[in-house]
Amino acid sequence: MAENPTGPLADVLVLDMTRALAGPHAAMMLGDMGARVVKIESPAGDDTRSWGPPFVGPEDDRQSTYFLSANRNKESMVLDLKQAADQDVLARLVERADVLMENFRVGVLDRLGFSVARLHELNPRLVVLSITGFGHDGPEARRAGYDQIAQGEGGLMSITGTAGPTKVGVPIADLIAGMNGAYGVVTALHERERTGRGRVVRTSLLAGMVGVHAFQGTKWTVAGEVPGLAGDHHPSIAPYGMFATGSAPIQIACGSEGLWRRLCEAVGWDATQEGLATNPERVAHRDHLVARMEDLFATEPAEHWLQLLETAGVPAGKVRTIDDVYAWEQVHSQGLLIEVDHPTLGEVRLPGSPLRFDDNSHSGGRAEHVAPPTLDQHGPAIRRWLDD
Measured distance CA(65)–CA(17) in Å, rounded:
20
Measured distance CA(353)–CA(27) in Å, rounded:
12
Q: Which helix (H) or strand (E) holds 15?
A: strand 13-16
Measured distance CA(228)–CA(205) in Å, rounded:
22
| Cβ-proximal residues to 261 (8 Å cutoff; 6+ apart), any chain | 271
Measured distance CA(256)–CA(234) in Å, rounded:
13
Map residue 384 onto helix, strand or coil.
helix
* Catalytically active residues, by annotation: 234
Q: Are 370 and 73 in contact (CB under 8 A)?
A: yes
**95: number of CA atoms within 13 Å, CB side?**
8
Angle at alpha carbon of residue 375, lines to 371 and 378, rounded to 5°: 70
Report which residue type is found at 165: P
Measured distance CA(224)–CA(203) in Å, rounded:
27
Measured distance CA(275)–CA(273) in Å, rounded:
6
Q: Are 342 and 371 in contact (CB under 8 A)?
A: yes
**270: number of CA atoms within 13 Å, CB side?**
4
Report which residue type is found at 191: E
The gap from C-alpha 341 to its chain's centroid, in whole angstroms, comes to: 23
Report which residue type is found at 349: R
